[in-house]
Structure formats: C-alpha cells, structure tokens
Amino acid sequence: MEDVVVGLDIGSTKTCAVIGFLNENGLVEIAGVGVAPSRGLKNGVIINIDNTQAAIAKAIEDAELMAGCEIAACYVAITGSHIKGENSPGVVAVSGRNRSISAGEIRRVIQAAQAIVIPADREIMHVLSREFAVDDQRGIKDPIGMTGVRLEAEVHIVTGSRSAIINLTKSVNASGIHCQDIVFSPLAAAEAVLSAEEMELGVAVVDIGGGTTDIAVFSDGGVAYTSVLPVGGRHVTNDISIGLSTPAESAEMIKKKHGLSLVSFVDASETVEVPSVGDRAPRRIMRMELARIIEPRMFEIMEMIERELLVSGKKDFLAAGVVLTGGGAMLEGTVECAERVFRLPVRIGRAKNITGMKDIVSSPQYANAVGLVKYGIKTRQYREAKGGTKKQSGGLKMKMKKWFQDYL
C-alpha cells in the first residue's frame, strides 16, 4: 500500500488521522483511522505545540497500526477566526493568434485576480477560480478555445495568519511527518460530503466543531464565500456545566447522551441524572430543563450562521440547502433547529463514495479528514494527468491550489 493518502484534522477537541487509497474499483478505500483528544488548541488555533504534537503522534500511530503501514506525509486541515475569504476580479487582454483563449491566458488572468494586497503577516492558502467572462459574456466555466478580446476571472482567495500556519506545520513536522498541503477545513469537508450537482445548484457546508464553526458557500460549481465563527459545541457544554452546576466532563457526557437542540422535542415526563460537584449525591432533573439550556445557544449559533449566509449574498440561491458536518451537528434536533432559522432544507453531511470502515468514518466528525484523503487523491491524479510529479510544496511554501477547476 505505497499509494496511501493521509488526512489529518487537528481540531479544538480531537485530532484525527485517516489513511486511505484508491482501490482497483476506483473507490476511495479507508484503511485506518486514529483519534486522540486535542489539548493544545483554542478555537481551532494552536496554543501549545508539544500538546498538539503529542495528539498528532497518537492519532497517526493508531491509524498506522490499523492500516498496517507507516506513513511519511499527510494533508492537514486548518481552521480559526484568522482565516478570511474574499472575492477578487482580474482582467487581461486576449493577445494570442486569432484572439483565441488558451491555458496561458487563463493562468495570466488568475494571476491578475490574485494581485491583492496581503499584509506581511498573512499567507494565501487557496486561490479558487469561480467563473470567467469573455468580453461581455458572463458565467463561463471553461473559456479555453473561445474567441474574445477581453478575459475576466472572478476568484475566491482564502488567506490565513502566517504564524498560525507556521505553528500548524511545526506541530506536524515535530511528529516526523511531512505536511503536503494545508486545506481550509470546510473545503475538505465539502470534498467528502457534497456532490458536484449540489455545488452547481448552490449549497452551504457548515462545520460545527468544538470551538469553531466553519462556513463555505458554493454556487455555480465554485466557492462564493468562506468564513469562520468562534463558536461551537464547547459553548453548549459550558452552558450545561454552569446551568446544572456540574463539572465540564459530566456536562459533556449529559449533552451527548440526552442533549436536544429543541425544547419542543422533549417528552414532558423524561428525566436525566446529573452528577453534582463535590461530595453531593447525583440528582435527577427533567430533560426539558436540559433542552431549555441548550436551545437558546443552538439558536444563537444558527442565527450567527444565518447572518453569514446573508452576507455571502447567496442565501436566496441555495437550492441544495445547507449541509452540516462536525461533532456539534450530532446533537439531536440540530437539523430541525437549523431549518427553522435558515428556512432552507438542511441535512447532516456524511462522507460518500467511500468504502472500508464506513461505520466509523461516515460520522460527520470525520468529514474533514476523509475529505482531505479525497483531496489528496484528486491532487495526485491531477498532477499525473498533467504529466510528471510536480515538486511538492514543502513546509510553508504556499502555492496556488487547484480546486474545483483544473486551471491552477
């Protein structure tokens, strides 16, 4: 199994490594999964390299044991409020013979669109082509071979804090593993859970993690908007811990076992056992009381997401609705809560078109790591198709990324 691809998702609450490969039937087969609790991150950003590295080493080791192979490199997901996405236009004159647009023109126009001022403490992570215009004809996906005098491109550029990226790379390298690429997490999740039709129709992927909620809006097959909110399941756990005067660990346990995002879903007779702080005996409370603590926080998170969808300018065009990933989406009633706020169809995103360990990796918590494996396989196929293996970007050397279009 020398052609394995590894996805590493270093989250605020858990670090997980997924090893996969393209099997003889052309399907992505998952060979190993390793998970370790994270202790060195806050809201998606590394605050302690040693603790982060220890979690990475454990997750990788477990995945290697399961897959029965040793790995040397991986694709890594990144999140955090330092990540910003913006749309940028570029224009060039078509100079070639017969004014016919070639791959060279596409490269030039995408370079022109990238010419934005980026502060020295930020790095470009992704340059995602959205659509092109030839003269006044807009909405063109593939202008190669078309004739015109003016070629315009609209790209979506994702940038992140240089130090956050350095610390992420350092933590991975400290485990003796080469970082092949860093991918903004909802784009990785999208790779795992969305279909090309959904991206074409208009869809938003929302990853509700422990400390962050990541959003990526797709329309007409490209990325139209990306954003990160500093909220997640951890806030729900905190509310339960304070509201029920119980330690964080039991609040977390109660949330996962009995939590509900909507009060109206609770049967009025249901009760829940709550361990108390100190020596006091555990007590029983109405499950309704628990839901009354959770519901306002979940509505608040959904309303914050709703504001981002509105800012994207694409809210009215999300015909394929919203797809939720991340552990925070696993709370019972969350889909219905989201539907009430967004007034759009909502579903839980599970990795599709994969085989092997399906029962583990189809949990929405693994969408990022599985998506990274798919992204890695796609990148390799793309390089092979282009002939020759392009030198891999070592460490920090960020480069233009080929994403949903083949021009970069």
Ligand X SMILES: Nc1ncnc2c1ncn2[C@@H]1O[C@H](COP(=O)(O)OP(=O)(O)OP(=O)(O)O)[C@@H](O)[C@H]1O
Q: For residues 185 and 246, which CB has a smaller minimum distance to Mg ion in the complex? A: 185
Q: By CB under 6 A, is residue 7 in contact with ligand X?
A: no
Of 43, 9, 52, the closest CA to residue 171 belongs to: 52
Q: Which stretch binds ligand X (CB under 6 A): 90-98, 121-129, 315-323, 325-333?
A: 325-333
- Residue 216 near residue 226, CB atoms below 8 Å: yes
- 210 touches ligand X by CB under 6 A: yes
Q: Which of residues 10-69 bind ligand X (CB under 6 A)?
A: 11-14, 38, 44
Antiparallel, parallel or unpaired: β 5-10 and 73-78: parallel
Number of residues that bind Mg ion (CB under 5 A): 2
Q: Determine the Cα–Cα distance for residues 375 and 16; give it in Å rounded to an integer.
A: 16
Report the residue from 126, 234, 315, 402 that binds ligand X according to the rule CB under 6 A: 234
Position among 202, 326, 356, 376 found at the interface with ligand X (CB under 6 A): 326
The piece of 85-93, 147-155, 263-271, 324-332 that touches ligand X (CB under 6 A) is 324-332
Q: Which residues contact 335 (CB under 8 A, 6 or more apart)?
A: 324, 329, 346, 347, 348
Residues 251-270 that bind ligand X (CB under 6 A): 252, 255-256, 259
Residues near 355 by beta carbon (within 8 Å), at least 6 away in sequence: 23, 27, 28, 29, 30
CB of 212 to ligand X, least distance (A): 4
Judged by CB under 6 A, which stretch of 84-92, 198-206, 250-258, 398-406 contacts ligand X?
250-258
Phi, psi of 225 (to 5 degrees): -160, 140
* Residue with Cβ nearer ligand X (234 or 287): 234
Q: Is 333 in the site for ligand X (CB under 6 A)?
A: no
Count of residues of this chain found to bind ligand X when the rule CB under 6 A is applied: 25
Residue 85 engages ligand X in binding (rule: CB under 6 A) = no
Cβ burial of 88 (10 Å; 0-12, 13-18, 19+) is middle
Torsion of CA 165, 169, 171, 172, to 10 degrees: 140
Distance between CA atoms of 19 and 60, rounded to whole angstroms?
9
Tally of CB atoms within 10 A around 50: 11
Sites of contact with Mg ion (CB under 5 A):
11, 209
Sites of contact with ligand X (CB under 6 A):
11-14, 38, 44, 79, 209-212, 232-234, 237, 252, 255-256, 259, 326-328, 330-331, 365
